[in-house]
Structure 1
Amino acid sequence: MILTQLPTEFEQAKPIIETIEAAGFEAYFVGGSVRDTILGKPIHDVDIATSAFPAEVKSLFKRTVDTGIEHGTVMILDHGNGYETTTFRTESGYQDFRRPDQVTFVRSLKEDLKRRDFTINALAMRANGEVIDLFDGLADLDTRVIRAVGVAEDRFHEDALRMMRAVRFASQLGFTIEPATAQAIADNAQLLTKIAVERTRVEWEKLLLGQQPVRGLQALVASALYRYMPQMADQAPMLTKLMALPTWHLASVEEAWTLLVWLMGLPNEAAIRQLLKAWKTSNELIDHVMAAWQVMTALQHDSKLAPMTLFKAGAAALKTANTVANLVGFGQPQATIDAAYEALPIQDKHALALNGGDLLKQQVVKPGPRMGQVLAQLLTAVVNGKVSNESSALLDFARMVADTEND
């Protein structure tokens, strides 16, 4: 197969390959960018594999960065772009099921491609668009099949994360995992515990954001792979609910985790935090999901959200909450939520027309916890429309609050 219309990203990278070839070495585009080009999907990073050893690659270009030179990877900087260029290599001795004990640089493209995870990712392409297919990856692309290169169990023992990648590709591409590969995942699922949570989380999130997530979830459940994911061992009921939802597609990791938390039926913020901490998510994501969960809890009981619920959540979490609520059956038109939020007197606490310094200057309160309490009451009063957001009105209200406390 020769691809005659190459994406701009490949055209821009051609001089890299041509420079390497002119020096007497082989060089090819490899990996997901080749696969996605054949499938007609947009590509992102362009990766290059070459028979040139790292020192030889570095000698050919003025600007390079040793991004992973111990594994043969050099970043070539060219016209504002960076191209990861990796020497053909073989790997051996995967004692931790995550990384090789030994990497050996070789001059053979076939030796390099045979260590790849799946046949659809073991494709190489020359600068002229000619696809090199040594493991029937084109046939598997045509039949929409995910098949391990060589012996599936060997591939998963080399890097157990490949099992998660298989179910993730099922979701992203809408492909089916072929029986021998699927059986190897089921047989080796427990090896997922050897993988860093952060790596597993990336694949899990990509699965949930895929075009056909149910296909990936079905493979996840059939293999029992989910049982070896953080706090997921007893979540078969949640996964069943997830797969049973009407056709759905999530747009962000915030939506994904909010949906999971909701379907798990977690009882409170402490349980939500515990789950998300176990998955090593960011504090920002935890705060977002908890805010969205609070909005969903309110929406479930009352279609009209209270002003302070709207204010505390903020626009982003409100959108997440309502998107997920619509998926599970009790959301509202997004325009209704947006209008209610925009109608708030203020959307940010910093927009309050009176601050702590003003309270001190006017001798309403003294420095200390009480100042924060008065400001919180001012904020609530403004958001609820009980006091206008004007300094004189707020000052009067603050004095009243302080006097009441002193009585």
Structure 2
Amino acid sequence: MNLNIKHIPAFQKALSVIKRIESHGFQAFFVGGSVRDALIGREIGDVDLASSATPVEIMNIFDKVIPVGMEHGTVIVRYDGESYEITTFRSESEYQDYRHPDKVEFVTDIKKDLARRDFTINAIALDKNGDLIDPFHGQQAIQGKKIQAVGNPYERFEEDPLRIMRAVRFVSQLGYSIEEETRAAVQKQGPLLEKIAVERIAIEFEKMFQGNQLVQAIEICEDASLFQYFPIFRHYPDLSNDAKRIPYPFADFAEIISFFVHCSPELSVDDWTRQWKLSKQVKNDARAIHNAIQYYQDNGLDDWLVYQLPEKLTKPFSRVTGVLYSRDSAKLCEDVKMKREKLAAHNRSELAFQAKDLFDIFPNKPRGPWIGKLLGTIEEKVVSRELKNDYNEIKEWVIKWNPPGRD
């Protein structure tokens, strides 16, 4: 079969990389998720290449090369403003650490390289002319919407148990089912997930929630008893039922956490981020979304909520709130944006009255916590339109109603 790559910009841009490698006497192919997604008709993300050239030979061909995994044959080439991961054709054997092969052997046959990959839908290569190399019938699996391991699924999962999570993630993202023997291996080898660092599981878990077929993936996890190997879920198995309420993709772990913290208030944002070993940024975003949802529960959508909610979290807040309160998330998102545009102030620096103005009014008052407290009150009253954002009006209110007392 031939794939028309003339109308696929990502491949067109990378063609010059392939041609340059071939001009030096080596082979090069498009491989991995970009080929799979092109065949499915999905938007292509990163474009990865496989080549018969070794990392050293690639470094001699291109000027800008980042040696990210030389021992495993992988480098990143910067070319024409893009980054391309290029891996030498290789075969692998023995995986003592359940991730990295003990032995990597560079080979010259692309088919041998494809044999080491996880699933048949990911074991297809594409040349510069659009011709496909598909020794494991990945196109057939795509047509049948099947996730099938390359070769023996028990061996593939033993090599790297994270492939179990990848299988489930592809169910959610692609809407495919898992081929019978591969699914049997998922069910039997689930305990191998205990060998995997939680940070790696977290990446696939997050991607699972980014798919449109989450419920189908959740049911596979339940059927294979995989939740017992996930932080939090191993002690709160009923959370999987809450997950089935989510009708559309969540963008990231912050949304996932804010949803589940609302479902099980005895678990805090800190509990989730600590046990899943997530970043401080995820924790801060999850807290902000959760706090906004709690405020919404008591007060509805008002100016003060919108003011406190970071603009970048408008869509995440809307998505999670939409699920929890059966609201149209798109409409809620638009409502938040409209309110934001009409706010009396968007941050404290836009207030007509600042800390220096307090010092002018109360020059003999020692500086202390009263400044931040009073400015916070002014901020809330202006945003809530109890006070106009006007210097004289705020000054009059401060003098009349809020002279600072003793700390």
TM-score normalised by length of structure 1: 0.89
Tell me the residue number matched to 2:379: 379
Report the CA distance between 1:32 and its aligned residue: 0.8
Tell me the residue number matched to 2:203: 202
Q: Secondary structure at the match of 2:75?
A: strand
Distance in 2 separating the partners of 1:346 and 1:189: 53
Report the CA distance between 1:400 and its aligned residue: 4.6
Amino acid at match of 2:371: M
- Decide which moves more: 184-193 or 315-324: 315-324
CA 1:280–1:400: 2 relative to 1, 3 Å: farther
Tell me the residue number matched to 2:112: 111
1:262-283 deviations in whole A, cap 9, x for unaligned? 33x2247xx1222123223333
Report the CA distance between 1:401 and its aligned residue: 5.7
Distance in 2 separating the partners of 1:120 and 1:341: 45
1:272-315 deviations in whole A, cap 9, x for unaligned? 2221232233333323322322333343345x345433432344
Q: Report the RMSD for the aligned CA atoms in angstroms.
A: 2.6
Amino acid at match of 2:47: V
Q: Secondary structure at the match of 2:398?
A: helix
Q: 2:287 is matched with which residue: 290, 299, 302?
A: 290
Amino acid at match of 1:10: F
Q: Secondary structure at the match of 2:250?
A: coil
CA 1:337–1:34: 2 relative to 1, 3 Å: closer
Amino acid at match of 1:104: E
Report the CA distance between 1:98 and its aligned residue: 2.0
- Decide which moves more: 92-101 or 166-175: 92-101
Q: Percent sequence identity over matched residues? A: 34
Tell me the residue number matched to 1:320: 316
Distance in 2 separating the partners of 1:310 and 1:129: 50
- Decide which moves more: 144-153 or 277-286: 277-286
Match status 1:388 vs 2:384: no
Distance in 2 separating the partners of 1:371 and 1:299: 28
Report the CA distance between 1:159 and its aligned residue: 1.5
Report the CA distance between 1:342 and its aligned residue: 4.3
Equivalent pair of 2:387/2:394 in contact (CA under 8 Å): yes
Q: 1:277 is matched with which residue: 270, 274, 279?
A: 274
Unaligned runs of 5+ in 2: none
Structure 1 residues 86-105: aligned runs within 5 Å: 86-105=87-106
CA 1:19–1:244: 2 relative to 1, 3 Å: same
Amino acid at match of 2:283: I
Match status 1:191 vs 2:192: yes
Distance in 1 separating the partners of 2:70 and 2:198: 25
Structure 1 residues 321-340: aligned runs within 5 Å: 321-331=317-327, 333-334=331-332, 335-340=334-339
Equivalent pair of 1:266/1:272 in contact (CA under 8 Å): no
1:230-249 deviations in whole A, cap 9, x for unaligned? 2111343222232245x433
Unaligned runs of 5+ in 1: none
Tell me the residue number matched to 2:147: 146
- Decide which moves more: 28-37 or 108-117: 108-117
- Decide which moves more: 146-155 or 107-116: 107-116
Q: Secondary structure at the match of 1:104?
A: strand
Tell me the residue number matched to 2:304: 308
Q: Secondary structure at the match of 1:48?
A: strand
Tell me the residue number matched to 1:348: 347
Report the CA distance between 1:119 and its aligned residue: 0.8
Report the CA distance between 1:136 and its aligned residue: 1.6
TM-score normalised by length of structure 2: 0.89
Amino acid at match of 2:50: A
Equivalent pair of 2:292/2:305 in contact (CA under 8 Å): yes
CA 1:316–1:282: 2 relative to 1, 3 Å: same
1:136-168 deviations in whole A, cap 9, x for unaligned? 212111111101111112111221211111111
Q: How many residues align?
A: 402
Tell me the residue number matched to 2:359: 360
Distance in 1 separating the partners of 2:81 and 2:292: 44
Distance in 2 separating the partners of 1:357 and 1:248: 48
Tell me the residue number matched to 1:266: 265
Q: Secondary structure at the match of 2:405?
A: helix
Q: Secondary structure at the match of 1:405?
A: coil
Q: Secondary structure at the match of 1:359?
A: helix
1:300-333 deviations in whole A, cap 9, x for unaligned? 345x345433432344445433332322334364
Distance in 2 separating the partners of 1:311 and 1:81: 38
Give structure 1 regions of 4+ aligned residues with deviation exceeding 6 angstroms.
Answer: none
Report the CA distance between 1:88 and its aligned residue: 1.1
Equivalent pair of 1:295/1:318 in contact (CA under 8 Å): no
CA 1:284–1:397: 2 relative to 1, 3 Å: farther
Distance in 2 separating the partners of 1:299 and 1:29: 48
